[in-house]
Structure 1
Amino acid sequence: MKLSCIPPCVGLLILGHLIQLSDAVVAKPGFFSAVQPNEEVLKLQLKGDENANWIEDEEGNVVVHTSEGFQYSEGLGKDGKLVPSGIAVGKQGLKTLKHIKDNGRKRNGRSTLTEDAGSKGEGRGGARPRGTEAQRRRRDHLGPGGRADLRGMPEERRQAARGRGNGRRRLTSATLKNLVVPILFSDHTDRALPSQSELDTLWNEPGGPPSWQAYANQSVKEFYHKQSYGNLVLESTVLDWIEIDSTEAECANGDSGTGNEWMDCLRDVLTTADASVDFNDFDEDGDGYIDAIAFMHSGYGAEYGGWDVYGAYYTDRIWSHKWAIFDADAYAWDPFNSSEGVLVYDYHVETALNGLSGGNVTSIGVCAHETGHFLGLPDLYDTDYSSSGIDAWGIMANSWGWDGTGGNPPSFSAPMKAYLGWLDPVELDAALQAVSASGGWFNLSAVQTDGAAYVLNRTYPEGEYLLIENRQG
């Protein structure tokens, strides 16, 4: 028997019981600059996602931002937060850190640094923070492995939240109507922002975002149309900017938008939108919930790390994510109820802006990633942050793409397409038997065009399988 495969063939082993959800985009790859009090310039990078994130230096050491500049981390405190060591990040600090690790630093005969001091972020899980209290509540109740035990939560929503992913969206037609609501923070009214027309181009128009990024040549609609082989048409209605009473920092509340302050901001903008939007138009399946909604905010994304051009640190900006509107303090069911009686519970949010300065519209990567969550797809990077998972082989692991801009994001992986019904994998054993009987060859065509994939169950334990797809550049 001869077996041919057009290279490269990609095998993805899906361990269903290990998949967890964080419903947030990973930090943008790359470094940002920071100036220490002694004027030494550092190159730092943000790691993690909205649920838990931390800063590393060029050597991969975990560092902490303090009122006295950046210091190396001493490890985790009892509250799960990183503890500064008192050692300033920089050339001299690295020497001090190495000396301490080699010889120990003792006071009254006892070491004053934990074994996690300066631990490499990718190598020592104990050195990573578990997130703020609000972020931990999010994970516990609605995030990875969350119990979905909101008080007063309807049983059908509770069961959906406990099932695979976020509950697959029940599409009653090939068209999904998506409401896009741009949020203008009260302190951003004099900023240069993308127009309603530019945001509509991002979501709907052929050619996608404007020419500032030449390779960003598709809209979110086009991306989903191609990925679904024409099975899904994402029709987005993009509203004009709606100003709210709160500032960006008030909505972020020091934790990038994970608490009730952020929920209040969403309710504020939805109340204004409700005066002009018929929410029934976005509940085609008639289940009483909006089918799809995306918020876009006027600040720079927290996932870019560092400080924006206006001096806002990333914790005072909103991190792109998919979540739900509820009472985050009382763990109680409290979605927004429109005047038509349509509930807004699930939502996702992204920045409307690219980078940390200027008024250029964002690229499609993060928008497409978070929309994937709304369809019920999980994150495919390791949510314990030990690795990047399948990384550039799938947009649910890497929304930033090969160049880190988000303008040219990866495709969906074959398991995600199969889950959404966009491809039907062929049993490999049956295909091999057919080829063996005929004495011929078979080719695995490119998944980008034909939606072809093979599945192998025979050699794996129950619940595990191998999916093979052929990616072509």
Structure 2
Amino acid sequence: MRLRTGRARRTHVSEWTRGLVVVAAAALTVCALAPDAAAQAWGLRPRTPVAQFPAPLSGQATAAPHPTARAKDKIFVLPVEFADYSHNRIPSPDRSVDNSTVWTADYSPAYYQRQIFGTGSGAAGGSGDTLNAYYRRQSSGAYTITGTVHDWTRVGHPLAHYGTDTCKKQGKPISTYYCNQRLVTDGLNRWYEDQRAAGRSADSLRTYLATYDTWDRHDHDRDGDFDEPDGYLDRVMLMFAGESQVNGGGVNGSDAIGSHRGTVSHLQTGAGELGPAGGRKGGGSEVGDSGIWVDDYTMTNENRGLGTLAHEYGHDLGLPDLYDTSGAENSTGFWSVMGQGSLLSDDDELAVHPGDLGAWARLRLGWLDHVTVKAGASSTVTLNPLSVPSGTAGPEALLVNLPADADGNARYYLVENRQYVGEDRFLKSGPFQLGWAPGRSRLKERLHYERGVLIWYWNTKYRDNKTRANGGYGRILPIDAHAEPARTASGAVIRGRLQAYDAPFGLRPTSPLVFHLGGVRTVIPARPGVPVFDDLKGVHHYDAAPYGSSHDADSGTTITVDEEHADGRVKVSVGSTG
């Protein structure tokens, strides 16, 4: 699929240094912005907006730049039910055998309005946490969302018409996404028809929908101005009645829809000739006869948790999946909400408390206080925890600029400090596995991830994290400090998301990891801390775990954890292999 890109308008932002940065024979760049009043009230620090990049569907990624991050977005939210399946029909789970399925008695528009747009308490994981509050925290107050959740709208077809795995176009098999996309068109058109039947005029609906079109996502007129209408709804979010196919689909089984991000124009015949009058011809479909069109959207199931919502909305902001979408398990694990971190919880159901986006995703969105150093030049930096719950000054990540590879591809190490604060407090008990107890596939076993300094290898040669297809390489992968494959009681190599539990570098020893497979107990014993990463002398990729361990750059770079402070700060130094 050809990916559309826009020309990002460059915005000059002054850089100013603050925080605990000690430099030895190297110049550092620290990027930050002064907080606004709302951010100060929450103890948050906005970051510099930088280019976004598009991810047309879950599992698809591109490195192409995209328009600069906005301060606020307005989302058109539409819950949709089917001719044969209405909302609020998901049965209450038996918690003795199912402690993972998300459930509430009434999925009303008011429920979604609070969950998506509520201001929340400002604290990660609070009972009133919301999508708006999550992204406000992740951006340190630089980004908020607003909008309206409309009434449940019933389309005229059964659920299988949109969710079937045997989707066809003109009698020929085609990707199930094509059938999913019909729900966007049918849902918005039915909503429009219902509004007209209720007495609203075409002019009033056109005026109303125009309030959701203030952004030229792809700069279709090439004037460098993205803050203008383009004839398309800026952000569209659909919830469909029933469970996600990813979780088995409930009573709907293989006819259920999976949560995803997509475009109506994907697989659309003649998409390049369709579009608003006088606007870009990007395909999609018109909402009624309003003159306003829809193309980009996210779609989630009725009972999805906040983490799933944060993950799919991350796609709409331009972030790709970081897990291996081909089915293998890479080292990303629960370290990012764009990986399995969207499924974190505490004592609750799955995906209730989204994890941190991670430094790479925040860097791409312009929401990261970070220091940049050049490989080969010695430097020392003190890093705050990545998920800082207060306004403590100082950088949260370190970007090490490495020499390009032989083909000119840029490469970096991205160093972040992961501690049990903010979103990262759910790393302490939120990771999990299902299927550990025979006959109880929905019963989760809670695990933990270690805290410490997590080092990611960012290799622009690769467009995704499909390590199976890439020979163990990926676009952005954590390097495991304890990379030698751990094994189960039977001697089998453990899966990638478990292997990644002790990936951080640091001074302190790890804690044992206890888990079960088929009811059989396995213990990964405590191991000494690993304070030094050396990409020439260290071994970080093993043939026994070809997809769950990561290659490095072999550049002669060292990154050392020198100090770990009681308040969560760490001092790290960058040097060269001796």
Residue from 282, 305, 312 that aligns with 2:212: 282
CA offset at residue 342 of structure 1? 2.7
Matching of residue 271 in structure 1 with residue 193 in structure 2: no
Q: Distance in 2 between matches of 1:348 and 1:190?
A: 18
Q: Which one of 447, 452, 455 corresponds to residue 396 of structure 2? A: 452
1:299 counterpart (242, 265, 271): 242
Matching residue's letter, 1:300 = E
Aligned-partner Cα distance in 1 for 2:368–2:259: 29
TM-score scaled by length of structure 2: 0.47
Q: Verify the 8 A CA contact 2:402 2:413 in the aligned structure 1.
A: no
- In structure 2, the residue corresponding to 1:282 is in which secondary structure? coil
In 2, Cα distance between equivalents of 1:331 and 1:252: 23
Out of 415, 418, 426, the position equivalent to 1:468 is 415
Structure 1: give runs of 5+ residues left out of the alignment: 4-18, 25-142, 146-162, 209-213, 354-361, 436-441
Within a 5 Å distance, the mapping from 1:154-193 to structure 2 comes to 164=63, 168=66, 170-171=68-69, 173-189=70-86, 191-192=88-89, 193=106
* C-alpha distance in structure 2 between counterparts of 1:237 and 1:380, whole Å: 30
Is the 1:324–1:345 contact (alpha carbons within 8 Å) kept by the matching residues of 2? Answer: yes
Cα distance in 2 for residues equivalent to 1:297 and 1:317: 9
Report the alpha carbon displacement of residue 423 of structure 1 after superposing the two structures with TM. 1.5
- Cα distance per residue 1:234-259 (max 9 Å; x no partner): 11311110111011122112359825
- From the superposition, tell whether residues 20 and 169 of structure 1 become closer, same or farther in structure 2 (CA, over 3 Å): closer
Question: SS of the residue aligned with 2:211?
Answer: helix
Distance 1:300 1:255 in 2: 19
Change (3 A) 1:231 1:207: closer
Aligned residues: 298
1:175 shift after superposition: 0.9
1:203 aligns with 2:116: yes
The farther-off stretch of 362-371 and 379-388 is: 379-388
Q: How is 1:412-427 mapped onto 2 (pairs within 5 angstroms)?
A: 412-427=357-372
1:366 matched to 2:263: no
CA distance 1:468–1:434, shift in 2 (3 Å): closer
1:231 aligns with 2:142: yes
Q: By how many angstroms is 1:260 displaced?
A: 4.0
Given that 2:271 and 2:284 are in contact with CA atoms closer than 8 Å, whether structure 1 keeps it comes out as no
The 2-side partners of 1:219 and 1:267 are apart by: 27
Map of 1:205-354 to 2, 5 A cutoff? 205-207=118-120, 217-254=128-165, 258-274=176-192, 276=195, 277=205, 278-285=208-215, 286-305=229-248, 308=250, 311-313=251-253, 315-326=254-265, 328=267, 330=269, 332-333=271-272, 334-338=283-287, 339-353=289-303
Contact 1:364–1:406 (Cα < 8 Å) also in 2: yes
Deviations 1:332-376 (A, max 9, x none): 4541123443321111100121xxxxxxxx320111101010011
Alpha-carbon distance in structure 1 between the residues aligned to 2:267 and 2:296:
14
Deviation at 1:327, TM superposition (A): 6.8
Distance apart, 1:414 and its partner CA: 0.6
Residue 392 in structure 1 maps to residue 334 in structure 2: yes
1:174-233 Cα deviation digits (max 9, x unpaired)? 11111111001112247445111111111022449xxxxx86541111110001111110
223-232 vs 187-196, greater mean Cα deviation: 187-196
Which letter does structure 2 place at the counterpart of 1:205?
Answer: G
CA contact (8 A) 1:186 1:244 kept: yes
2: CA distance, partners of 1:245 / 1:367: 26
CA distance in 1 between partners of 2:377 and 2:385 (Å):
18
Cα 1:424–1:413 change in 2 (3 A) is same
In structure 2, how many angstroms separate the alpha carbons of the residues matched to 1:343 and 1:20?
19
Q: Secondary structure at the match of 2:176?
A: coil
Residue of structure 1 in register with 2:555 after alignment: none
SS for the counterpart of 1:312 is helix
1:219 & 1:393 partners in 2: Cα distance?
Answer: 20
- C-alpha distance in structure 1 between counterparts of 2:87 and 2:262, whole Å: 29
Letter matched to residue 426 of structure 1: V
Q: 2 CA distance for matches of 1:23 and 1:389?
A: 22
Cα deviation code 1:412-457 (max 9, x no counterpart): 111110111112531235998675xxxxxx5211122266211111
Counterpart residue identity of residue 234, structure 2: D
> Which residue does 2:513 correspond to in 1?
none
Residues 1:178 and 1:255: Cα distance change in structure 2 (over 3 Å): farther
Amino acid at match of 2:286: N
CA distance in 1, matches of 2:363, 2:413: 13
- Residue 65 of structure 1 is matched in structure 2 by none
CA distance in 2, matches of 1:251, 1:363: 22
Contact 1:183 1:244 survives alignment (8 Å): yes
Give per-residue Cα distances to partners, 1:46-88, cap 9 Å, x unaligned: xxxxxxxxxxxxxxxxxxxxxxxxxxxxxxxxxxxxxxxxxxx
| Residue-by-residue CA offset, 1:268-296 (whole Å, 9 max, x unaligned) | 21113335552211111212222111100
| d(CA) in 1 for partners of 2:232, 2:56 | 22
SS in 1 for 2:382: coil
Structure 2 CA distance for partners of 1:170 and 1:243, relative to 1, 3 Å: farther
State TM-score, norm by structure 1: 0.56
1:99-140 Cα distance to aligned partner (Å, 9 max, x none)? xxxxxxxxxxxxxxxxxxxxxxxxxxxxxxxxxxxxxxxxxx
Partner of 1:371: helix, strand, or coil?
helix
Q: 2:412 is aligned with what amino acid? A: Y
Q: CA deviation at 1:326?
A: 2.8
The percentage of counterpart residues that share the same residue type is 25
Q: Aligned AA for 1:185?
A: F
User: Does the CA-based 8 Å contact 1:204-1:236 persist in structure 2?
Assistant: yes
Q: Which amino acid aligns with 1:247?
A: P
Once the 2 structures are TM-superposed, how far is the Cα of residue 331 of structure 1 from its aligned partner?
Answer: 6.9
Equivalence map 1:108-147=2 (5 Å): 144=60
What amino acid sits opposite 2:109 in the alignment? Q
